Amino acid sequence: MELIEAIILSVLAASTPLLLAATGELVTERSGVLNLGVEGMMIVGAACGFGGALLTGSTIIGALCGIVAGTAMSLIFAAMTLGLAVNQVATGLALTILGIGLSGLIGAGFVGERITPAPHLYIPYLTSIPLIGRIVFGEDAFVYFSIALIVAVWWFLYRTRGGLILRACGDNHVSAHALGYSVLKIRLYAVMFGGACAGLAGAYLPLAYTPFFIPGMTAGRGWIALALVVFASWLPGRLAIGAYLFGAVTILQLHAQGAGVGIPSQFLSSLPYLATVIVLVLLSRARTGGSTAPAALGTVFVPDR
């Protein structure tokens, strides 16, 4: 029972940054913008989040610093792709490279430092319930927020007028513009939301997952988050399922290494990324009715003047 509980808790912790970052990217892509800079925004959010928490002693301020950092990086992307109509793929890749270098510069003085990780919820009696107590009533605020966020995004996209307008911009930005909606402004807000989520996802790593900062600690999670959006067919419900599945693969390969399974550790460490590739290939072969992606995804929009 204790082993099962420990594994589930580890899966939830490993899945949370994926869910946060992928949720933001889903909203961004639903508006018609493809931002491949998630990894760069996450690692800058990790550096700034840890620095904010270390200097102030507050996890909340650290999380806010991560959100601000991710949003600031997304504004650079928006200025290039929405303001100057630069290619989105090239700009996103450049943003990742910039973020990796910038995080190393920001976090250079934080390497080796440690902070107190984010506190976990404790409710008398309820948290002590065997197996489900710590899982349901003993997580940190990031885990609960990630679940609430994906529910809120689903409600916004499919139950509000604003969500319908955002999806219209992603499916046919010309028609949305003809109806009088500001496509660029809507996409700007979506890009900023995606950057804020990526920054928070990055900040989660040193604030709750591991109480220290090291360069490159995102370890490709931003790329997995991008793949999760495709895996989910741009649907929030499937996104949550995919995030926890990929988190489970990550944790189970660690337990397999600890158990001394006779498989090279390098191969086990590559399993989350190998699973990403396999899933994407299977999905591409299974879609016989055409792509489910927003029709205008990655297409530059220049309004008539």
Residue in 165, 156, 172, 150 with CA at minimum distance from that of residue 294: 172
Angle at 232 between CA 230 and CA 238, to 5 degrees: 170
Q: pLDDT confidence of 286, banded at 50, 70, 90? A: low
Question: Helix or strand or coil: residue 57?
Answer: coil
Please count the other Cβ atoms lying within 10 Å of the Cβ belonging to residue 210: 14
Q: What is the pLDDT of residue 13?
A: 93
Angle at 169 between CA 164 and CA 175, to 5 degrees: 100
pLDDT at 305: 53
Give the pLDDT band (50/70/90) at residue 288: low
Locate the domains of the chain by residue range: 2-118+139-286
Looking at residue 4, what is its pLDDT?
87
How far apart, in whole angstroms, are the C-alpha atoms of residue 266 and residue 268? 5
pLDDT confidence of residue 266: 73
CA distance 176 to 91: 25
Residue 27 has pLDDT above 80, yes or no: yes
**Tens-digit pLDDT profile for residues 106-148:** 999 998 899 999 999 999 988 988 888 899 999 999 999 999 9
Residue 228's identity, in one-letter code, is L
290 pLDDT more than 70: no
Fold adopted by 2-118+139-286: ABC transporter involved in vitamin B12 uptake, BtuC (1.10.3470)
Between 122 and 250, whose confidence is greater?
Answer: 122
Q: What is the mean pLDDT of residues 258-276?
A: 73
Q: Stretch 62-76: mean pLDDT, rounded?
A: 97
